Chains A and B, each alone.
Chain A
Amino acid sequence: MTDTRDRIMLLLTAICAVMLTVSLYKIFLVLPDEANQGAIYRIVYVHVPAIFTGFTGFFVALGGSAAYLATGKLKYDAFAAAVTEVALAFATIVLATGMIWGRIIWGIWWAWDARLTTMLVCWLIYAGYLMLRRAIEEPTQRARLSAVVSIFGCVDILIVWKSIEWWRTQHPAPVLSVRDGGGMGPGMEAPIYWNWLAFMCLAVILVMVRTRQERMAGEIDSLRRMAHSY
């Protein structure tokens, strides 16, 4: 079992490394600068794949949380916690890269517009989710409350996603063709999806490591209970 898991992780690492190398080569050496933004537009190749990966993770965590609420099995809660933590790392990348891009294009690091604010709220909800887990020691109570926060967080994700359509924002309108944007030149959109796949491979590796750690923490808890029962 461990061998299979290690092999899968090794395979995913290799796939991720190859995809990122090819993609970065294309982004830096093949694609031209964007007409209005110049070189800085390339940040989109990290920013958008990171948010796709983060949101995918938050929705997978929602599945884990719902599975816990339906079955009461703590393994689903541990899985949801692992996925949420990894997804939050990608959400942090989104905020950081967005701010750096904004500094050049808007001349400011941050704007309290609907997209940025809802994204910050989303980040805070999931950071709160992880803080909540540290604050509660009793496993079933921790799992139940965490599941509720996870479900609540996913509502905010939908608001983040639709915010650029619902409100007039400083954040750019949709540019990807999947959202009827069509604002990118030919060949400029594909690396976004390649990077998303690479980030997804990386996220799966990190979730596998994190899930193993959750299992170890559970084992420590049960060993402690056993030791104290003597």
Chain B
Amino acid sequence: MDEARNLSYMFYGFAAAFVILAIYVASLAMRERKLRTEIDRVRRMVEDPAKKQ
């Protein structure tokens, strides 16, 4: 068995796992930011119905 190829693919395996987790965490962070912006906007809308869109 090609030892260098074996090692490379082991690295790819671990990298894939951590990249998937990192992408998921980043997506959570983005969603959190969007939700906070939205909640602020809707709160303002409730406090001042004249600004209702």
Contact = CB atoms under 8 A, between A and B. Distances in A.
Interface of A: 37-40, 42-43, 46-47, 50, 86, 89, 92-93, 96-97, 100-101, 103-104, 202, 206, 209-210, 212-213, 216-217, 219-220, 223-224, 226-227, 230
Interface string B19-45: 011001100100110011011001101
Given A89-B24, A220-B42, 18 more contacts: A38-B3, A38-B6, A43-B14, A46-B14, A50-B17, A93-B17, A97-B13, A97-B17, A100-B9, A100-B13, A104-B1, A206-B25, A210-B28, A216-B36, A220-B35, A220-B39, A227-B45, A227-B52
Contacts of A210: 28
A103 B8 CA distance: 12
Contact of B43 (A47, A103, A223): A223
A206 B20 contact: no
Contacts of B17: 46, 50, 93, 96-97
16 contacts: A37-B1, A38-B3, A39-B7, A39-B10, A46-B13, A86-B24, A93-B16, A93-B21, A96-B17, A97-B13, A212-B32, A223-B39, A223-B42, A223-B46, A227-B42, A227-B45
A46 B20 CA distance: 12
Given A96-B20, A97-B16, A220-B39, A40 B46 contact: no
In the A-B complex, the 4 residue pairs with the smallest Cβ-Cβ separation, listed nearest first, are: A43-B13, A223-B42, A100-B13, A89-B24
A101 B8 CA distance: 11
What is the interface residue range for chain B against chain A? 20 to 34
A47 B13 CA distance: 9
B6 A40 contact: yes
A202 B21 contact: yes
A227 B39 contact: no
Given A50-B17, A89-B21, A216-B35, A100 B42 contact: no
A209 B39 CA distance: 16
A219 B22 CA distance: 28
B49 A227 contact: yes
A43 B35 CA distance: 36
Nearest to A89: B24
A217 B9 CA distance: 41
